[in-house]
Amino acid sequence: MFGRRRKDRGSNIEATDAASAGDLGAYDEPADEEYDEYATGSAADSGPYDIDEVDEETVTASRLDLGSVLVPLPAGGQIQVEMAPNGTPQNVHLVTQFGRITVSAYAAPKSPGQWREVAAELAETLRNDKAEVSIESGPWGRELHGRTANADLRFIGVDGFRWMIRCVVAAPSGNAGADSELVGIARSVISGTVVRRGSEPHPVRTPLPIVLPEALTRQLVAAQEQQQQAAAQQQQQAAAQQQGAAPAQPAPRTAPPEQPAQQKRQVPPARQTPPRRGESGSAMQQLGF
C-alpha cells in the first residue's frame, strides 16, 4: 500500500511553486539519499506520504479526506471545522480528550528547508507574545514547544517534495511535552498522513486548499441551520420580553372647554431597548464524526 513510486524530474524546473503550470511536469529519478531528504519520515516505513507513493483508493477509505491532505482519525476523536470569513474551511482540527491536533499542508519548494525557516519565525512570534520557547528534536527533526501560563503549543513540521506539513498541537498547560499522550497521538497522525499536492502552481508557504467531505459538509450545514434557528428564537423571545416590559403610554390630556386651550405636553414614547441579537454562529463548528 505504501510502496514508493519513482518519478522523473526535469532539470529545467524552477525551485519555486510560483512557476508556470508547464514547469510542474515530471522530474528525474533521484538517488535514494536525495529522495530521503524530502522528509517522508525519519524511517523508511514512516510517513507522511505523497499521494503518488500509495494506493489512493485504499488510503481514501481509511482516512479523513480533506482534499490536499488525508489524515487518520485518532480513536475517540472529534472533528472541529474552522471557517474563514468568506465561508470556506480554513482549518480542520482533530479534538481528543487530551487536546487538539491540526494538520495542514503548504506549498513548498522542491528542495527541503522551508520548515526550518518557518520554525524560526514561529519561535520569534511566540517569544514576542511572552511565551517560553524551546527547540526540541523529534522523529522528523526539530519541533517547536511553546509554553504559556494557560496553554502549551507544539509545532511539528515535515518537508516534502513541493509540500510541507505543519502540525499544531494545542493543550492545557503542561500537556504538550515530548512524552505526553497528545504528542504521541499527533506523531502517529502525522506518520499516517498522505498529501495530495496536485500539479497546480502555488506560491511557497501558501496553504493548500481544504475540501470537506460531502458527509461532513452536510453536518456542518445542519449545525449552522440549528444555530440560526436558535438565534432567531432568542431574538423573538427578547423582543417579546421588551414589549411586555414597556410601560403603557398615558393618553394625551384635553383642555377643559371653559378654559383656554393649553399647549399639549409631548410625552416622549417609552424608549424600547433593541432586542439582543443571538449568536450568529461560531466559526468553530464542533462535529462528531
SS3 of 181-249: HHHHHHHHHHHCCEECCCCCCCCCCCECCECCCHHHHHHHHHHHHHHHHHHHHHHHHHHHHHHHHCCCC
Q: How confident is the model at residue 249 (pLDDT cuts 50, 70, 90)?
A: low
Q: How confident is the model at residue 239 (pLDDT cuts 50, 70, 90)?
A: confident
273 burial class (0-12, 13-18, 19+ CB within 10 angstroms)? exposed
What are the cell numbers at 59? 488510503
C-alpha span between 165 and 205 (Å, rounded)? 10
Q: How confident is the model at residue 253 (pLDDT cuts 50, 70, 90)?
A: low
pLDDT digits (tens, 9 = 90+) for 215-225: 888 888 888 88
C-alpha span between 227 and 237 (Å, rounded)? 15
Task: Give residue 149's pLDDT.
Answer: 86
pLDDT higher than threshold 90 for residue 1: no
**Are 48 and 165 in contact, with CB atoms under 8 Å apart?**
yes
C-alpha span between 51 and 223 (Å, rounded)? 32
Return mean pLDDT, the chain.
Answer: 75
> Comparing C-alpha atoms, which of 80, 96, 267, 270 is closest to residue 172?
96
What are the cell numbers at 22? 508547464
Q: How confident is the model at residue 272 (pLDDT cuts 50, 70, 90)?
A: very low
Q: How confident is the model at residue 241 (pLDDT cuts 50, 70, 90)?
A: confident
